[in-house]
Each structure stands twice: as C-alpha cells, then as structure tokens.
Amino acid sequence: MLQTMSRPPRSLVRTTLCVLVLVFGCQTTLSLTTASAAGSGSEAIQGLGSYFLTLPYSGIKMAVAALGAVAGGMGFIFTGGDKVTADKI
C-alpha cells in the first residue's frame, strides 16, 4: 500500500526558512543603511541611474520575450500541432 506524505521533509522546511530569514534580514539591513547614508542629492542620482539603466534592460527583456515567442511558435509548428510536446520545449 502506498503511503502519502503528510508533511514535507524537515530538511526542505529548514532550508526554506533559512533562505527566507536571510532574504528578509538582508533587505531590512540594506534599506536601513541606505536610508541613513542618503543625502539630498543622492536620491536624484539614484533615480537618474535607475531610469537610464531601465532603458537597455527593458529592450533586452523584450527581445528575449520575442525570441521565446518565435521559438515556441516554431516548436508548435514543427511538432505538427501537438500541444503536449510543444509545451515541453
């Protein structure tokens, strides 16, 4: 008879909790340090840097999305319209 798992393995739970504590702990520490070190002009510089770095990032992201759509469409065509096989690509 097959037994169903009623709870996840302890190592997975422990690892997940450690990662969450690290992520939220670092985020809080970094935000406190940045807020206390920020001057009057640094916010404007950060805003401009964010704006100008978003432009190439969004262009690259859109190009990758378009290439993914083309590859997915070609996979659907080359599999003869088999959606199950095309989803695996």
The amino acid at residue 36 is S
Classify residue 44 by burial, with Cβ atoms within 10 Å: 0-12, 13-18, 19+: exposed
Answer yes or no: pTM beyond 0.85. Answer: no
Q: What pLDDT, on a 0 to 100 scale, did the predictor assign at position 64? A: 94
Residues 12-66 pLDDT 10s:
677 776 676 676 666 555 555 555 555 667 888 888 888 888 988 999 999 999 9
